[in-house]
Structure 1
């Protein structure tokens, strides 16, 4: 009887050890904030993934000015098309929101599209984009 007790205690201990080892095995959820600079240096530590230059370049790639890419004739066509089709304007608002397109850039584009009225002809586009961004109380 003594042998069966020892054997059962051993099996339980092995199961507990295995369960805790399996639980700790998944290290994908653990975040490693720092590591020692040298293997023998325990005091000096540095952050991992400190330089993310590719992310910065990816953000700068989308930072463009639409008025610099289009000519006056093309800007006028695009502004008229956006004014004529409400669904197209909504799609443009979503695109402008996800790719950083500021209100200043939109204002410059609308001024390019209608130089005589200084962009006032297309105020509906400007106001619609402001409402889409949630800057108005409507």
Structure 2
């Protein structure tokens, strides 16, 4: 489980689960309720199955567009603000994926995450992806 002191540990755990294509592991590091805001339609996912519902839509969109092999690399966080049981993280991010046989690298993205303590562990309560170049 995430390190109880560092909210970035929970963020990294979520991103690692994304990179492994494991929606159950993504959901395991999320609080209930959870909210996701992303550039892909329908743009907002919320509730206890938000991560899994979002992942299903990622796969459907990828199949439609011919995209697969998604991976996220986080840079050094710009903000890791902790206020008691709540935290806010902003990190630069790069996404790579395959688009119809071509490797695509999307740079300059920003991954923003809100977290809260659930028992002794940090859990994601919301995240938003701001697409880069």
TM-score of the superposed pair, with normalisation by structure 1? 0.23
TM-score by length of structure 2 reads 0.24
Say which structure is richer in strand.
Answer: 2
